[in-house]
Structure 1
Amino acid sequence: MKWLRRPSWFALLLTLAGALLFMRLGVWQLHRANEKEAILRRYAAAENEVPRDFAGVAMTPPANAFARVRVQGEYLADRAYLLDNPRHDQLGGVEVYAPFRPQGSDRLLLVDLGFLPGNGTDQAPQLPPLPTGEQALQGLYLPPPGVGFEMGGNALARQAHWPKTTVYLDLPQVAGDLGSLLYPQVLALDDDQAAIYVRAHVLDFSAMPPARHRAYAFQWFTFAVAAVVIFLMLHRRRPSKRRTSHEQA
């Protein structure tokens, strides 16, 4: 190509490495968007499934689906955990979790009772008493909320009174706090119009929905194109002054 000056190996390799990196990041973002859309489809399908017996999936939840289950047992009296960073955070309030012992089990199941709106103050909302005696529950058996980066150590161990408040729901910490083994996932109860809790089966992808992954993918692909364009512009031959003067004559 006569219009292109011969580039140095360093410039060529640098441009190639940068373009390939940007392309790989763009493909990865598209992959994450497709993954999340698949999760959302499985989540929506699970809500319409006939509930299955909890014992069948308790320790081995399906890898590529969300199980809708039914389980019988009893709540632990006067035990509850308040998650202080729920997906309804703009309303103020807490997501409430209570330990539940299924019939004939030596493990506890953590039940997501739902979201309890705040009362306009910094104080935690007043919890209604848990039902006593044998209960039949139904809902989605889901992975627990992400833990993230927790600062300050185990906040549950420093609290002496119930309910206990936390900004991260860490199942091993909850198990240690209760002195009992826990099932690996939590039960998000089905919606109940008579319940005081807000129960919305919505996966929390608000921070990074599939559409935002695709926007980032477009950005990375644009960077790849820009790297190639900049390389070509910097190595484009400019017409010599002699040739320009001859053409003008």
Structure 2
Amino acid sequence: MNLWRRPRWWAVLLTVAGCLVFLRLGVWQLHRADEKDELLRRYAASAQASLSDFAAVAATPPLDAYPRVRVQGHYLVDRVYLLDNPKHDQRGGVEVYAPFQVRDASSLLLVDQGFLPGNGTDQAPQFPPLPSGELTLQGLYQPAPGVGFEMGGNALAAQTHWPKTTIFLDLKQVQQDLGQSLYPRVLALDADPASIYVREHTLDFSSMPPARHRAYAFQWFTFAVVAVVMFIVLHRRRKPKPSDNA
């Protein structure tokens, strides 16, 4: 007895096409996970790299690389931005950014001072004044934090007092707010045991870390298996019951 029904051509086509799409999406997610793992490894290695000339990478930083640089200049001590993004501390806190006027340059460099833990209240934590005068800074020259979906427009333009607080750090908005051009990346200062700031910098993959890409890959591969199982089940003849032959 033939236990299989001959499938229609369009059923075969849909099943094969669906499986190919699901498998392709799963493989793509695995590739993205591997790429982000590699970026994280490069970033971790950059923290121990030798210092580079900031002028050589300032305007056109290398893709997928995070040079450790030294730069001289002075802070705009009355201009501070607080990124309200409590990623280190359950009590909340802010990431503190300050514009830095690079020596003999017209553009400003936004410097990530580090994370300042909260104090258990809704008020922004108190931070020490920025040092004045000529300074030499060193750290990783890295992309700014990612910008998510913003509601209500530019929050910086609506604020008239410093420091200014934002939940997203958009370099274009900061540049407009300062009225002066910014370098395309920010400087994440090297760790300093004597600093009040927590400087545990990493790439911002919080919305889609490598593990989540692998979870999505498993999901797509599961869809491919389900499509094949459904095809088999739908085209399998049911064995006749004894009562059907009576």
The answer to whether the 8 A contact 2:145-2:204 is kept is: no
- 1:11 counterpart residue number: 11
The answer to whether the 8 A contact 2:116-2:125 is kept is: yes
The answer to whether the 8 A contact 2:89-2:118 is kept is: no
Residues of 2 paired with 1:48 and 1:23: CA distance? 39
Encode CA deviations 1:15-38: one digit per residue, 9 max, x unaligned: 223222211221111011011111
Encode CA deviations 1:179-209: one digit per residue, 9 max, x unaligned: 1000000000000111111000222334432
- 1:39 counterpart residue number: 39
- 1:185 counterpart residue number: 185
- 1:30 counterpart residue number: 30
Q: Kindly report the root-mean-square deviation, in angstroms, between the aligned alpha carbons of the 2 structures.
A: 1.9
Percent identity, please: 70
Residues of 2 paired with 1:91 and 1:207: CA distance? 21
* Alignment map for 1:53-72 (pairs within 5 Å): 53-72=53-72
- 1:80 counterpart residue number: 80
Residues of 1 paired with 2:81 and 2:151: CA distance? 18
Unaligned runs of 5+ in 2: none
Aligned residues: 245
Residues of 2 paired with 1:185 and 1:224: CA distance? 41
Secondary structure, counterpart of 1:85 in structure 2: coil
- 2:49 counterpart residue number: 49
Describe the shift of the 1:86–1:56 C-alpha distance in structure 2 as closer, same or farther (beyond 3 A).
farther
Post-superposition shift, 1:86? Answer: 4.6
Residues of 2 paired with 1:64 and 1:145: CA distance? 15
The answer to whether the 8 A contact 2:114-2:188 is kept is: yes
* Alignment map for 1:93-172 (pairs within 5 Å): 93-172=93-172
TM-score, with length taken from structure 1: 0.92
Post-superposition shift, 1:40? Answer: 0.6
Residue type matched to 1:161 in 2? H
Secondary structure, counterpart of 1:156 in structure 2: coil
The answer to whether the 8 A contact 1:87-1:204 is kept is: no
Residues of 2 paired with 1:125 and 1:239: CA distance? 73
Residue type matched to 1:221 in 2? F
Describe the shift of the 1:86–1:140 C-alpha distance in structure 2 as closer, same or farther (beyond 3 A).
farther
Encode CA deviations 1:203-232: one digit per residue, 9 max, x unaligned: 233443222321221221111011101101
Residues of 1 paired with 2:150 and 2:40: CA distance? 27
Residue type matched to 2:234 in 1? L
Residue type matched to 2:151 in 1? M
Post-superposition shift, 1:59? Answer: 0.5
Greater mean deviation of Cα atoms: 126-135 or 215-224: 215-224
Secondary structure, counterpart of 1:11 in structure 2: helix
Encode CA deviations 1:91-137: one digit per residue, 9 max, x unaligned: 40100000001110000000000001111111111121000001110
Residues of 1 paired with 2:199 and 2:86: CA distance? 12
Residues of 2 paired with 1:105 and 1:40: CA distance? 31
Post-superposition shift, 1:154? Answer: 0.6
Residues of 1 paired with 2:15 and 2:57: CA distance? 51
Residues of 1 paired with 2:92 and 2:150: CA distance? 21
TM-score, with length taken from structure 2: 0.93
Residue type matched to 2:221 in 1? F
Residue type matched to 1:193 in 2? P
